[in-house]
Chains A and B, each alone.
Chain A
Amino acid sequence: MTLRAIAIDIEINSTKLLKGISLELTPGKLLGVLGPNGAGKSTLLKALSGDLSPTHGTITLDDIPLQKWQSINLAKRRAVMPQASQLVFPFSAHDVVAMGRWPYEKLCSPFINRLAVEKAMILAGIKHLADRPYPVLSGGEKQRVQLARTLTQSIGLTGDTETKFLLLDEPTAGLDIAHQHAVLAAAKKQCKERGTAGLAILHDLNQAAQYCDSIAIISNGTLISNGPTPEVMEPELLSDIFSCNISRSIDSTSSTPVFLSSI
């Protein structure tokens, strides 16, 4: 019952984007993926979501290769939040979120679907945007609508026992600081309360340390380190990977680690 990459290589136009990556998502936990620009984080996410098939190695869901899954059955198990969506037709924010219920549309009553949409909108904090047309929303509001759409997809049906997978591609990009926290908190809550296995590509080390249960560090297409957050996020390793000075101190009031960076 897990989504697993087994020694995957991805090659596009004879450029190796990913080299021998093995990774597994754990139910109930949020995995943060860190790495410099162009390291292959989004490629990994595309591979895990089934958009790209690996050149070598396999990606399995419940030990069945992704390619053998029908797209509708796959949609009932994993939801993907894109970096940006180019919807130009003026659907209301509510309608966009409701599209996340498509895989279940005929499997349960409209009432359950509406409930799931409401729940996701509250979780993403966009209840007040429900009737606004999507194209006129600000970048940050659009991000949160997309998050709600993904959340409602991963809510599933009431009797679902299978683990859902939530893949977030830079969910905090373009958001103000309060909403960055709100989005990550929502993702974390979904993972904890529903046993969802989450993966989020992040850039902020402090947020990664604060919200992620485990961290995977990718650089140059290879997996450098993967494990529980406190163990992986060592200042020496991070400094090396991001080619800048990163130091860690412990905040006296909250006793959580704080990362400082400088060139």
Chain B
Amino acid sequence: MAQALAATPKRRKLKNNKKPYYTLGGLFFILIISSIISLGIGGVAISPLSNIEHFAAYIGLGESKLELHQVLVIESIRLPRIVLGLVIGASLGLSGAVLQSLFRNPLADPGLIGVSSGAALAVVSIIVLGDTFFAAFLELTRNFALPVAAFTGSLLTTALIYHLSRRDGLTDVAMMVLMGIAVNAIVGSLIGLLTYLADDAELRSLTFWSMGSLAGAGQAAWPSVSIMIIASLFLLKLSSPLNLFLLGEAEAHHLGIPTERIKQQAAIAAACATGAAVAAAGMIGFIGLIAPHLSRLIGGVDNRFVLPAAALIGANLIVIADTIARIIVLPAELPIGLVTSFIGGPFFFALLFREFKKRRM
């Protein structure tokens, strides 16, 4: 036993130091491959090779052999959709990883700070009460009504939860979790009430929104995409301070982290990133929870690895889930939220059991 213990450190050390960086490269490579494959899959099938040829032609390498209708399909339908999916997946994965560190709770996800419930309440209000109470808002925002409502709703709810958990200029993160639960419960009941009032058509659009879809990709999603990219880049910068946060807040403060500022920045950036994601594609559950866990399972708990890896894995999961959602019930398509939960759940189970076994040995 003692000998075995003494022998392991050396081997582990090598693994620990080198592995994560190769893994990030590997994840990025997988992401590119799955994006290219996803581009070719669907009602109009195009081989991955001709896809690569087509895009290589833009930088002067070779010639595109695609026909006009194929070009239309990949450039104006699938490409925007994949780009939107990549950005949303990265934002959700990253926000989840950041919030888990901030709350020092492996079960935290963006829903905890009210992003999803706030967005849902705003959207339900617009769909159900829009014509009667929010006519001016609808007039003003037109096609952007739902995204704008979702984004504002999620930010307002997060701000409310954040504000409720502050005393004497200090934010209590444990309080924030509990306040989040309380606020989510109240918001949930309001959503229920409005759903009860809704008529059949409203109910249908509501249900579809709450299951998420990337079908809205296109120019209308650009504002959301830019908010997500900016917020995500910002979140990535928080990786080192968040490592110290895991030790405890007082300890992070003793090590020179301006804890109040980090909490504020993380909460705002995560709310913006996920709020914009919900605005662009409705509710896509599970990614924010599962992507950080997958990163930790494959590369350890250091946030300098976990954050970028969670972004890559989140993006990957969304692209794969969207591909499945598009093709599984052709010519119709399934809401992506259903696919992420249906596939993600069992997959997560498998990984957890594997980890469980390892720990008992």
Contact = CB atoms under 8 A, between A and B. Distances in A.
Interface stretch (A26-34, A68-76, A219-227, A233-241): A68-76
Contact of B246 (A70, A91, A130): A91
B64 interface: no
Contacts of A49: 254
Contacts of A70: 258
22 contacts: A50-B253, A72-B256, A74-B256, A75-B256, A80-B251, A80-B254, A86-B104, A86-B248, A87-B246, A87-B247, A88-B106, A88-B246, A89-B106, A90-B301, A91-B246, A99-B243, A99-B244, A128-B6, A130-B9, A130-B13, A131-B8, A131-B12
A102 B240 contact: yes
B301 A51 contact: no
Contact of B255 (A91, A100, A130): A100
Give chain B's interface secondary structure class. Answer: helix
A76 B257 CA distance: 11
B112 to A, nearest CB: 17
Contacts of A86: 104, 248
Interface residues of B, number: 27
B76 interface: no
Interface in B271-302: 296, 300-302
B250 interface: yes
B16 interface: yes
A91 B250 contact: no
Given A99-B243, A131-B8, A87 B255 contact: no
Contacts of B248: 82, 85-87
A95 B243 CA distance: 10
A2 interface: no
Contacts of B250: 51, 80, 82
B255 A103 contact: yes
Given A85-B248, A87-B246, A131-B13, A71 B240 contact: no
A10 interface: no
A47 interface: no
Contacts of B257: 71-72, 102
A74 B256 CA distance: 7
B287 to A, nearest CB: 20
Interface in A55-101: 70-76, 78-80, 82, 85-92, 95-96, 99-100
Interface string B252-267: 0111111100000000
Nearest to A91: B301
Nearest to B306: A89
Contacts of B300: 90
B302 A91 contact: yes
